[in-house]
Amino acid sequence: MDIAKTYNPQDAESKWYPFWMENDFFKSTPDERTPYTIVIPPPNVTGVLHMGHMLNNTIQDVLIRRARMLGYNACWVPGTDHASIATEAKVVALLKEKGIKKTNLSREEFLKHAWDWKEKYGGIILEQLKKLGASCDWDRTRFTMEKDLSEAVIDVFIDLYNKGKIYRGVRMVNWDPQGLTAVSDEEVIYKESNSKLVYVKYLIEGTSDHITVATTRPETIMGDTAVCVHPEDERYSKLKGKNCIVPIVNRSVPVIFDDYIDKEFGTGALKVTPAHDINDFNLGQKHKLPVIDALTPDGKISEAAGAYVGMDRFACRKQIIKDLQELGLVEKIEEIKNKVGHSERTDAVIEPKLSMQWFLKMSEVSKPALDAVLNNEVKLIPEKFGNTYRHWMENVHDWCISRQLWWGQQIPAWYDDKGNTVVAKTKEEAESKLRTLNSQLRTENIKQDEDVLDTWFSSWLWPLTVFDPAVIRNGWDKANADLKYYYPTNDLVTAPEILFFWVARMIIAGKEYTGIKPFENVYLTGIVRDKLGRKMSKSLGNSPDPLVLIEKYGADGVRVGMLLCSPAGNDLMFDESYCEQGRNFANKVWNAFRLIKGFEVGVGPQPASSKAAIAWFENKFYEQVEIINDHYSKYRMSDALMATYKLVWDDFCAWYLEAIKPEFIDGKAQPIDKLTHEATIGFLEQLLKIMHPWMPFITEEIWHLLKERTPKDCIIVAPWPKIKPADDILLKEFEVVKELVTQVRGLRQQKQISPKEKLEVFEKSTSPKPTFDEVIVKLANLSSFKYTNEKIEGAFSFMILSTEFYVPLANNLDADEEKIRLKKELEYNQGFLKSVQIKLANEKFVANAKPELIALEKKKESDALNKITSIEEQLKNL
């Protein structure tokens, strides 16, 4: 069999992914096995693969592939989110390019364009995930606006409305002037901005006096309906019952008094603009002030403002400052930094706006979801996010669930021409309900609410509706077989920034409609940043294209590179060199495979060195797989990968293969014995299994090149290695071997002794342990390894733990140079001994430390004393 000299990732990826698909290895249906289920956080249908997706979906694929190998019925459900704001913006932009305005289209016409766009572009990101190796059950792919999933959303709205948990009212909302819709508090991103704090004089009516108010938003002055001060502020006591004049529009408004004002802050006077600030709105309600909305929905100055009509809000801000200065009404301007809210979707500066919206009461429905996390029923990983979750849930506001868009689930509320409102699934049902309120009802006067529901109001049902959309109507008792089998799911992998947006709300929905949590564990990834610590983004140009990385380094290389340094909940400082390291690892594995396949198997006996090396590696494998399993159980993904990496690269390639590799005689490799060859193939197969979740393509490729296999005998479904208790004594002995071989190799380099020149090594010991003697002879290239009770005069010596070793060097030992080396070593060990003894003399440490920690420090002290004694004797002899 011809084996390529170098591994070609593209060949393996193009071969094995279709093969897995064709043979239904990703497919899952309920059976007698225990299920292991993950539902994908559905990416936006507008999305293309970015580095955050790469991290998140690689972790999910690692978990699902390992579960499959552990014998679980592994089911990973893929899908996409309809992303109301983002998708509608894409479609509006596309229509604009064609000279079509949304306002010139009917709702039905616009939605046809939107569905056409979705069918053409909406599946791109899922196809890209296949390049990564994502082993989703693609037959289960769902979309949040599919007919039955949308029906479930409508069912939830009607149910919660009937329970009195959904209401409609005028409230101050976060308004996105670019998206032309309300957004929830959680969709507002606060960014530090440079702003001007303008101190404006408001003249007291009928006098030449004035009151000064500071504002960062002078463009809203036209909406002012009062100036407020503290009732106990003596500076303004004479203004009781007075009015002041709003600049520019010359409106007379009252000076009101309220203890809401902090008299120590700024000038102690506040301009009250009820239409443009939630606190001002509350003051306005309390003091019965009129409301003047100075802005249009798209962020321009409104007719109601009475000045600057039609001007953009930010252009108005600049102009009004100039005009106020010309009128002599600006006392001063300060440059400040403040936090300004931006829309998460469009990045437009948010405007507080009074608007009629639909809300979900959160105080009652959120309690079971809070308890689920506080009681550890749902585990957050890492646990540090529990406090954030608790803070959010204990301070939750009612959820504004309506959006002023067309793309999404249309709110099932219906109105007649008399101001009556009913909630119903169909127009026919709505008409029946409205007739009980309005006997003169005409069918053509029935209108459905124009708004759609917040995207999160559909995705909060995701773990339920991907399996059984009808569960909302039918209830848990009548749930279908899929939901009863796969729910609750096992692990959710997502980002901390949507912990409240999505995770908390899914728990709320799960508890509300099944009484059961939607998942066991929530693994929260960090943010992918560049090596300067900046969040990766298109605008900064610091985010590499994941598909280009896959083309350059292979999917396995990129997967390993992403996860080498991504502890849960901590940000990943990405550098392309990590992907290069991943590719190098794949090449290392390939070269080890080629070496093993290149062995010629002979009929000779098994060397003692090979037998000992096999015994060591078998136990090393058991020890490390137990550690790897423990890392997985604690969701220490980077640690599990690093332990796998070191076991393969260091223990297998650098030590085991070197120990069993046949010698070259006269330039020709000698045959390897059959027992060692079979054991080595077996070890490689076991290592491929533990590598497979991280590196699915190269492991499947090598698995099939090792020997002929049936189409179903694939590593993707090979059983995860079973382990036995490791022989700790044997493993500790081999650690001494490694240190000994390293010391001899270092000595050769230091003394410029050829690697081919055989040396002799003595161990000073009264109780020899010859298990690995032949391995030492081979790896250190010795003529012999012997034991002695006496010092070897004139030999180079070194200590490992408390044992002394000698290497006779004859003409190679320089006494003066050796004295210098030994004195440095003596100084180091004396310093080390002093630090240990200081710690042991610390009464607080001894009183509080665990017994095993004290025992460890005492052993360090004993070893250091032995080393010092040995070095002093060596110096004496020299």
pLDDT for position 811: 61
Single out the residue of 623, 646, 654, 606 nearest to residue 730, CA to CA.
623
Residue with tokens 């044997």: 730
Dist CA 160 CA 155 (whole Å): 9
| Lowest-confidence pick of 566-575, 626-635, 763-772 | 566-575
* H or E segment to which residue 569 belongs: none
Average pLDDT value for the chain: 93
With 90 as the cut, is the pLDDT of residue 676 above it? yes
Angle at CA 574, nearest 5°, toward 573 and 579? Answer: 145
| DSSP-H helix ranges across 661-809 | 674-691, 696-706, 728-751, 773-780
Q: What's the pLDDT tens digit per position in 743-760? A: 999 888 878 888 889 999
pLDDT for position 86: 87
Contact status, residue 721 vs residue 785, Cβ threshold 8 Å: no
**How many residues in total does the chain contain?**
878
Q: Which residue has the higher pLDDT, 484 or 665?
A: 484
Question: In a 3-state reduction of DSSP, which class is residue 762?
Answer: strand
Contact status, residue 141 vs residue 79, Cβ threshold 8 Å: yes
Model confidence, pTM: 0.84
With 70 as the cut, is the pLDDT of residue 812 above it? no
Dist CA 854 CA 760 (whole Å): 38
How confident is residue 287, by pLDDT bands cut at 50, 70 and 90?
Answer: very high
Amino acid at 817: E
CA dist 307 → 177, 599, 786 (Å):
20, 89, 100
Q: What's the pLDDT tens digit per position in 448-481? A: 999 999 999 999 999 999 999 999 999 999 999 9
Q: What's the pLDDT tens digit per position in 227-259? A: 999 999 999 999 999 999 999 999 999 999 999
Q: Which residue has the higher pLDDT, 533 or 311?
A: 311
Single out the residue of 538, 525, 536 nearest to residue 576, CA to CA.
536
With 70 as the cut, is the pLDDT of residue 568 above it? no
Q: What's the pLDDT tens digit per position in 824-836? A: 888 898 998 989 8
Cα–chain center distance at 97: 36
Three-state SS annotation for 303-343: HHHCCCCCCEHHHHHHHHHHHHHHCCCEEEEEEEEEEEEEE
Contact status, residue 448 vs residue 413, Cβ threshold 8 Å: yes
Q: What's the pLDDT tens digit per position in 163-219? A: 999 999 888 889 999 988 888 777 888 999 999 999 999 999 999 999 999 999 999
pLDDT for position 170: 84
Contact status, residue 214 vs residue 221, Cβ threshold 8 Å: no
pLDDT for position 793: 81
With 70 as the cut, is the pLDDT of residue 877 above it? no
pLDDT for position 853: 84
pLDDT for position 813: 59
pLDDT for position 668: 83
pLDDT for position 538: 67
State phi, psi for 293 to the nearest 5 degrees.
Answer: -85, 105
pLDDT for position 767: 85
Amino acid at 139: D
Give the range with max mean pLDDT: 85-94, 99-108, 115-124, 643-652.
643-652
How confident is residue 595, by pLDDT bands cut at 50, 70 and 90?
Answer: very high
With 90 as the cut, is the pLDDT of residue 46 above it? no
Helix axes 773-780, 608-633, angle to 10 degrees: 90
Question: In a 3-state reduction of DSSP, which class is residue 357?
Answer: strand
Give the range with max mean pLDDT: 87-101, 181-195, 612-626.
612-626
Q: What's the pLDDT tens digit per position in 644-653? A: 999 999 999 9
The whole-number average pLDDT for the span 371-399 is 94
The whole-number average pLDDT for the span 328-349 is 91
Dist CA 204 CA 210 (whole Å): 5
CA dist 200 → 212, 268, 271, 347, 758 (Å):
5, 13, 10, 29, 91
The whole-number average pLDDT for the span 852-864 is 85
The whole-number average pLDDT for the span 99-108 is 93
State phi, psi for 875 to the nearest 5 degrees.
Answer: -65, -40
Dist CA 416 CA 72 (whole Å): 55
Residue with tokens 């506040």: 270
Dist CA 590 CA 455 (whole Å): 46
With 80 as the cut, is the pLDDT of residue 873 above it? no
pLDDT for position 62: 98
Dist CA 315 CA 323 (whole Å): 12
Q: What's the pLDDT tens digit per position in 689-726? A: 999 999 999 999 999 999 999 989 999 999 999 999 99
With 90 as the cut, is the pLDDT of residue 843 above it? no
Which two structure tokens, joined as six digits, stand for 274?
Answer: 């009820």
pLDDT for position 411: 98
pLDDT for position 185: 79
How confident is residue 814, by pLDDT bands cut at 50, 70 and 90?
Answer: low
Dist CA 640 CA 665 (whole Å): 40
For the beta carbon of residue 474, count every other beta carbon within 10 angstroms. 13
Amino acid at 261: I
Q: State percent of the chain over pLDDT 70.
A: 98
Contact status, residue 861 vs residue 812, Cβ threshold 8 Å: no
Contact status, residue 582 vs residue 7, Cβ threshold 8 Å: no
Dist CA 393 CA 361 (whole Å): 13
Dist CA 247 CA 352 (whole Å): 22
How confident is residue 620, by pLDDT bands cut at 50, 70 and 90?
Answer: very high
